[in-house]
Structure 1
Amino acid sequence: MWPDWHAWRRRLAHNGERRLLVLAGSESWGQELARELWQRDALWLGQGPDEYQPQPAAKISRYLGRSFPALVFNAHSGLHPDAFGAVLGCVAAGGVVLLLCPPLADWPDYADPDLQRYVALPEQARERHSRFIQRLVRLLQQDAHTLIWQQGACRPALPPPGHHAWHRQRDRRGCLNPQQRQALAMILQSCRRRCPLVLTADRGRGKSSLLGLAGARLLDAGRRVLLTAPSPHAAHNALAQGGGRLHFIAPDALLQQRPAADLLLVDEAAAIPVPILQALARHYCCVFATTEHGYEGTGLGFQLKFQPSLDRLAPGWRKYRLTTPARWSPQDPLEPLLFRLLVLGADPPPPPPSGPWQLHRLSQRQLAEDEVLLHQVFGLLTLAHYQTSPSDLRYLLDAPGLELVVACRARIPMAVALVVREGRLSPELGQAIWRGQRRPRGHLLPQSLAFHGGLDGACVFGYDRIMRIVVHPHGQQQGVGSRLLGWLRQHSTADFLGTSFGASAELVRFWQRNGFAAVRLGLSADGVSGLHAAMMLQPLSPDAEAVMPVWQGQFSANLDFFLLGALRTLPPPLLHSLKRPPARPQPALDAAIVRDFAWAHRDLPADRPALARFIRSRSLPEGLDERQKALADALLNPANSAAQLVADFGLAGGKDLVQRLRRLLQCFFPPP
């Protein structure tokens, strides 16, 4: 313990600043020091002494919207970027973040448990050099405000806090600064004028507190006000500022019960699925408060998917952004450091409007060592997907089998494609995946096509899956995206180029124009975008070209079945844009699917078309009772959902239904 530690902490609080203290050494050494510096009501993430009630970093969502005087983040348990970014925003002014980690020179080669999320097999994490950690260490060592104590070295001197006193005093309305007063006035006007408001800010700007203050004012005026959020924990500050009078109700309960309200306050809106936000906006006048920098994993979904739909639902809605911190001083050095570490708010520069451009590969090493290039490329990638989060930065720098191709004009990236190599799995592993007995991480296309698509042999082929492809808005409509796909096609050594994306009619037409064809469509819409996932392939090898018509014929036959049941609400524009050949089911493939559904662990929703075609083409085996015959007959009707079958036959649930179907279908085959 430093002799002047408490005085230093008081000075930090007086200045409204926070600090990061890195304890680099063995885990036991770091934990012992953290125990000495521990204070009441602090939060400990990762492994730690039981008396401090340590929490797993992956469960950080329960702490969003709350405030803590200090934090211990044990990176020996894994540096989860989303959790790290989220929880640092929960540390109040005067707080210190204790980051426990291995010795800095060894940390990039440490078998970080978080790396297992990015590799197919656990042993790959033990052998992987982390460029994400290598870059993080470099930035920490360069930061003048970060305090680093390495095991075996002398205790470092405490850096002096700044000289700017921080005055945090609420006015008679309960606001801390002019921006909060303006936002409060706009919330009250939204209720009077029945005009939706979107309130955005980075963490620590007081969005949740403002919702509570506004709710209390409106309740005093006799208005009916409701509060919703992803969880009561996320609305903690709003409920506290509401004086215990605000009524919290979960989003799904709101849509079921539809209680009357003059205004609905929606806290942490970016963590609520877009279709639910749209339904709330249709029924209520809403104030949506949220962070857009992706701590929840859906910040861009709110910005890119929900806000345009709000234009249609409520023309004239207003937006206000809070920039002045409320939990800490504008001179706080921790927030700028966090933005550098996680490349938050990366804004890609516009390329020149004309001129030649070049295509070339980028390595993960180039990105990790060039901060300007990394911000440009990652900023572009965030435009391509509405669920970009800090974990995507680590994936970009650390995941094996990635290829990054960029198109530059005047050395400024104007388009980028992120490609991952998948497939070419052993026949034994491929068969186990097909039968539902194995599900290794990664290999999205071959696993999904084999298990959900019922395409036998899908795992033995090699795929270059285009995870993301994006063209800067200033470079669009110039054929850059198609040229980029052509380059990938020319340089690929895989059997297929492939992609999986949220299917809109426009995107389906783009991929089809570039030679891709659909082979699978997800049965349920994504919770954030409201879109069904589509998988499309372009064959490159002779074997792939030979099998592609077979796969498409099976896909078309399955889709005909699903359109009468699970996909009957598929948007007509999407269906009309989808080019597909005539249905050509493969009886031998259907029989293999039914056999492994009966005797292994294949999936009922995905296999329903094959099960129905198989039963329809055969006589029922002798020995089935009337109830089994009725169940077999009901299975033929695509409109009968699993839930409906459970209800009609008085079963205990979905598992009971699957077990009864397995026993029924086993009667068609000899035991394996």
Structure 2
Amino acid sequence: MIAGVTRELRAEAERANERRVLALAGDRDRGIDAAYDAVEAAGIVSDDVSIVSTREGFRFEEHRPRHADELLGRTREAVILDCHEQFVPNALGRAVGAVDGGGLLILLTPALDDWPGIRDRFDDSLAVPPYRVDDVTGRFRERLASTLRTHPGVALGALGDDPDGDVLERDGLTGAGRGTDTGTRPTEADGDAAAGPSAPPDARFPAAAYAACRTDDQSRALRAFEALADPESAVVVESDRGRGKSSAAGLAAGALALGGDDVLVTAPGFRNAAEVFARARELIEGEADGERGGVDRDDRTGDATDRDLRTPAGGRVRFLPPAAAAEAAGEADTAVVDEAAALPVRLLEGFLDAPSVAFCTTVHGYEGAGRGFAVRFRERLLDSRFAVRDVRLDEPIRYARNDPVEAWASRALLLDARPAVDEAVADATVDDATYRALDPADLLADETLLGEAFGLLVAAHYRTEPNDLARLLDAPNLVARALVADGRVVAVALLAREGGLDAATRREMYEGERVRGNMVPDVLTSQLRDEAAAGPRGLRTVRIATHHALRDAGFGSRLLDEVHAEFGDDGAGDGGDRVDYFSVGYGATPRLLRFWRRAGYRTAHLSTTRNDASGEHSAVMLRPVTAAGRDLLDRHAAAFRDRERDGLSDAHRDVDPDVVRGALRACAAPVAVDLTETEWRSVVGASVGPGMYDSAPGAFRDLALAALIEGGDAADLDDREERLLVRKVLQGRPWESVADDLGFVSTSACRRALGDAAAPLVERYGTEFALAERERFTDD
């Protein structure tokens, strides 16, 4: 039975240049045997097959479920995904993406009726303390099983104890490709049909680059990339997954490097840019072979992990992580940003310093996360000095346009999840919106609700994966809340229960053990050395998103107010739901710091290093509810205040002054200004007399910290004066650097401005002695 249906599936897939799924449900050992039979019946050699499994000893290429990223950029005739023992949703996405047109994805699963109730190693990862694996649900697998039973292109076999007991529930055949060759992939026997598009007569890139294109869409993108050879040119390439945008970018990068250019490439991670480097390397090596009549492997540019490719003309293609690349963009000839939608807008703006720049982004799928690129950064780009060219790729590279497996994967993993269309929410108002819980059972029963809610979460964050969908549906520590207007989701919050851990677990955390799913307690305990921090119960905002058509209209604040009322502020959270504090951790920007401060959150920590992808320092903020929550905030606010007095001239010396201002303004621990008479003489002298800042920098530091925590209005300081206090007094930067950063005409003017800024500090915090000292210089 299995052999017969596999032969038919394979034949139809090859005729239509599409892919097919063969799901084998039942006993694991029988499934593995059946998978071998299926590969043999399909006529696929073992070298063209990969298996993802926790077991070893197969004759196929092997990958562990947690390391399925190794399949990225690979093309396989068949991939076998063993879903027994450890089913990782991310691995399913990687496995689907690796199957070539005409190929098969073979799934080995437990019996579909039983699968949702089976707990495995992935479920263990969802059972974050204090929850246990029995608290994890199986809704994600229930939904996945439903798609296997209903979606076109999926064959389903129920395995018995022996082959005679196998039952074919679905044959997966769609009728595609019968009587036509339109979907068939060209082969070398077809001559010119297999060759890539030819180069335009006036092409600036090598003909080999165009010959390497697989579709006319790719050729058009490559033609647009030629503009990068000219300064002040920008190219934006958008596509769905699997359309070859990264390949086109790699060919362009290689061509520019062959011409002597320094091409700087970045992406959220190097694995995201692996295809860019693979295609750049192939082009560079191919041109070198042509010029030299072939070169030894040792003389070539390197292997698949190379992050710096060199050319005989002195050009190069090099990779840097996003934050470092944004800082170095102005030093390169061209910057190429792959998966640009997965990076924050603030970081993307750094690439506008490059002489020319390309932004490549996925339209649908998790890589195309943030709407920030499409909505906010596009406006910034169009207003810049760059001449912008847009290209969209629609034609799939490795399989036909209507491939049913692409549609199945998009549905099963919600790769095409998106918020409601703008027109559907355009008239929504905060007052008319209804607050509701997004119970996982309701999400499972309502695909529209699930798609809109998850689409908002994807759009709000630059890194979302299939595993996150499973967490939303199954993780016991997560809850979701939303605002709904006219039946459409307009704002959503994903919340994680944290803390409430027993003494033994707290001790392990303090001694260095990582406790999953308790981000804020872990930071406060292991990094900040507070063993009691994981005792109080918290509710952390993992993500909060408002529909992009309703930004800045108050929906996010209203949603938070409702969450606060439900779980704490109004005491409505009975039955074990009430928490001791609310928390949030995020990449700190001035805008976000203001938002969370206005929502009642106060700073407990600012990370000492930047996130590689966002380029931002992470802030942790708390909003207490109970006495236990207030005690937790009080001690960590005081610790934060004391750390920053010295840390701003050390680990935080390069933090954006507006981020420092925002973090300190949200600190709940005031500074007690207690200066000696000698220190007051120096401060007063610097502000209204002949004194100097350098005679008492510690005194100025105490005053600056007090003023920034209390807020500029209280001390009568404007924005530039506050930035001056941060840059010079707290971060201890050289006068020349401070004057340049803040736009002073000279260091002397900068010094005078600091003296002027000290005058209101004397007025606000000065003792009787200090005020009397001031009178000596101000009396007529």
Between 1:188-197 and 1:571-580, the stretch displaced more is 188-197
Cα drift, residue 410 of structure 1? 1.0
**Match of residue 50, structure 2, among 39, 43, 51:** 43
Q: Deviations over 1:287-334 (max 9, x none)?
A: 444535555697778768976776687633433221121211112111
Inter-partner Cα distance in structure 2 for 1:216 and 1:457: 55
Inter-partner Cα distance in structure 2 for 1:450 and 1:394: 28
Q: Secondary structure at the match of 2:528?
A: coil
Cα drift, residue 211 of structure 1? 3.8
Aligned to 2:286: 244
Q: Deviations over 1:596-649 (max 9, x none)?
A: xxxxxxxxxxxxxxxxxxxxxxxxxxxxxxxxxxxxxxxxx999xxxxxxxxxx
Cα drift, residue 556 of structure 1? 0.6
Aligned to 1:594: none
Q: Which amino acid aligns with 2:642?
A: A
Inter-partner Cα distance in structure 2 for 1:144 and 1:258: 46
Between 1:471-480 and 1:94-103, the stretch displaced more is 471-480
Q: Secondary structure at the match of 1:460?
A: coil
Aligned to 1:353: 427
8 Å Cα contact 1:20-1:147 kept in structure 2 = yes
Pairing 1:48-447 to 2, within 5 Å after superposition: 48-120=56-128, 124-125=132-133, 128-152=136-160, 153-155=166-168, 157=171, 159-163=173-177, 165-166=182-183, 168=185, 169=193, 170-173=196-199, 174=211, 175-192=213-230, 195-211=233-249, 213-214=251-252, 222=259, 224=261, 226=263, 228=265, 230=270, 233-234=274-275, 235-240=277-282, 244-245=286-287, 248=309, 249-252=317-320, 263=334, 282-283=353-354, 285-291=356-362, 293=364, 315-349=386-420, 350=422, 351-354=425-428, 356-436=432-512, 438-447=513-522
For the structure 1 residues 147 and 314, does the alpha-carbon distance in structure 2 shift closer, same or farther, using more than 3 Å as the test? farther
**Match of residue 606, structure 2, among 498, 521, 531:** 521
8 Å Cα contact 2:241-2:365 kept in structure 1 = no
Aligned to 1:549: 634
Q: Which amino acid aligns with 2:52?
A: L
Q: Secondary structure at the match of 1:95?
A: strand
Between 1:119-128 and 1:501-510, the stretch displaced more is 119-128
8 Å Cα contact 1:554-1:584 kept in structure 2 = no
8 Å Cα contact 1:209-1:241 kept in structure 2 = no
Pairing 1:18-37 to 2, within 5 Å after superposition: 18-37=19-38
Q: Whose radius of gyration is greater, 1 or 2?
A: 2
For the structure 1 residues 550 and 223, does the alpha-carbon distance in structure 2 shift closer, same or farther, using more than 3 Å as the test? closer
TM-score (norm 1): 0.78
8 Å Cα contact 1:377-1:413 kept in structure 2 = yes
Q: Secondary structure at the match of 1:459?
A: coil
For the structure 1 residues 75 and 312, does the alpha-carbon distance in structure 2 shift closer, same or farther, using more than 3 Å as the test? farther
Aligned to 1:537: 622
Aligned to 1:572: 657
Inter-partner Cα distance in structure 2 for 1:57 and 1:301: 32
Q: Which amino acid aligns with 1:480?
A: F
Inter-partner Cα distance in structure 2 for 1:9 and 1:465: 48
Between 1:569-578 and 1:449-458, the stretch displaced more is 449-458
For the structure 1 residues 497 and 259, does the alpha-carbon distance in structure 2 shift closer, same or farther, using more than 3 Å as the test? closer
Inter-partner Cα distance in structure 1 for 2:560 and 2:343: 34
Between 1:52-61 and 1:338-347, the stretch displaced more is 52-61
Inter-partner Cα distance in structure 2 for 1:257 and 1:524: 18
Q: Which amino acid aligns with 1:32?
A: D
Cα drift, residue 384 of structure 1? 2.4
Q: Secondary structure at the match of 2:534?
A: helix
Q: Deviations over 1:329-374 (max 9, x none)?
A: 1121111111111111322114242452211212111111210100
Cα drift, residue 267 of structure 1? 5.7
Inter-partner Cα distance in structure 2 for 1:545 and 1:12: 62
Q: Deviations over 1:562-587 (max 9, x none)?
A: 111111111111111232233589xx
8 Å Cα contact 1:82-1:296 kept in structure 2 = no
2:587 matches 1:502 = yes
Aligned to 2:696: none
Unaligned runs of at least 5 residues, structure 1: 586-636, 640-672
Q: Secondary structure at the match of 2:496?
A: strand
For the structure 1 residues 5 and 388, does the alpha-carbon distance in structure 2 shift closer, same or farther, using more than 3 Å as the test? closer
Q: Secondary structure at the match of 2:596?
A: helix
For the structure 1 residues 462 and 103, does the alpha-carbon distance in structure 2 shift closer, same or farther, using more than 3 Å as the test? same
Inter-partner Cα distance in structure 2 for 1:310 and 1:225: 22
For the structure 1 residues 261 and 27, does the alpha-carbon distance in structure 2 shift closer, same or farther, using more than 3 Å as the test? same
Q: Secondary structure at the match of 2:408?
A: helix
Cα drift, residue 484 of structure 1? 1.8
For the structure 1 residues 121 and 150, does the alpha-carbon distance in structure 2 shift closer, same or farther, using more than 3 Å as the test? farther
Inter-partner Cα distance in structure 2 for 1:365 and 1:342: 17
Q: Secondary structure at the match of 2:639?
A: helix
8 Å Cα contact 1:266-1:289 kept in structure 2 = yes
For the structure 1 residues 548 and 35, does the alpha-carbon distance in structure 2 shift closer, same or farther, using more than 3 Å as the test? same
Determine what percentage of the aligned residue pairs are the same residue. 29
Between Structure 1 and Structure 2, how many residues are aligned?
A: 586
Q: Which amino acid aligns with 2:599?
A: N
For the structure 1 residues 27 and 398, does the alpha-carbon distance in structure 2 shift closer, same or farther, using more than 3 Å as the test? same
8 Å Cα contact 2:334-2:354 kept in structure 1 = no
Inter-partner Cα distance in structure 2 for 1:264 and 1:243: 21
For the structure 1 residues 501 and 9, does the alpha-carbon distance in structure 2 shift closer, same or farther, using more than 3 Å as the test? same
Over aligned residues, Cα RMSD in angstroms? Answer: 3.5
Inter-partner Cα distance in structure 2 for 1:507 and 1:81: 31
Q: Secondary structure at the match of 1:89?
A: helix
Aligned to 2:533: 458
Q: Deviations over 1:32-91 (max 9, x none)?
A: 111223333222112353322311233233332232111111111423222322331221
Q: Deviations over 1:179-220 (max 9, x none)?
A: 233212101233246513232322321224434554676678
Q: Which amino acid aligns with 2:21?
A: L
TM-score (norm 2): 0.68
Inter-partner Cα distance in structure 1 for 2:343 and 2:555: 34
Q: Which amino acid aligns with 2:167?
A: C
Inter-partner Cα distance in structure 1 for 2:5 and 2:442: 43
For the structure 1 residues 395 and 4, does the alpha-carbon distance in structure 2 shift closer, same or farther, using more than 3 Å as the test? closer
Aligned to 2:544: 469
Q: Which amino acid aligns with 1:154?
A: V
8 Å Cα contact 2:490-2:546 kept in structure 1 = yes
Aligned to 1:620: none
Q: Secondary structure at the match of 1:524?
A: strand
Inter-partner Cα distance in structure 2 for 1:125 and 1:551: 32
Cα drift, residue 283 of structure 1? 4.6
8 Å Cα contact 2:52-2:64 kept in structure 1 = yes
8 Å Cα contact 1:212-1:238 kept in structure 2 = yes
Q: Which amino acid aligns with 1:517?
A: R
Q: Deviations over 1:407-456 (max 9, x none)?
A: 111111111122111111112221332232x2221111112112222334
Inter-partner Cα distance in structure 2 for 1:131 and 1:535: 32
Inter-partner Cα distance in structure 1 for 2:628 and 2:167: 64
For the structure 1 residues 565 and 294, does the alpha-carbon distance in structure 2 shift closer, same or farther, using more than 3 Å as the test? farther
Inter-partner Cα distance in structure 1 for 2:649 and 2:115: 55
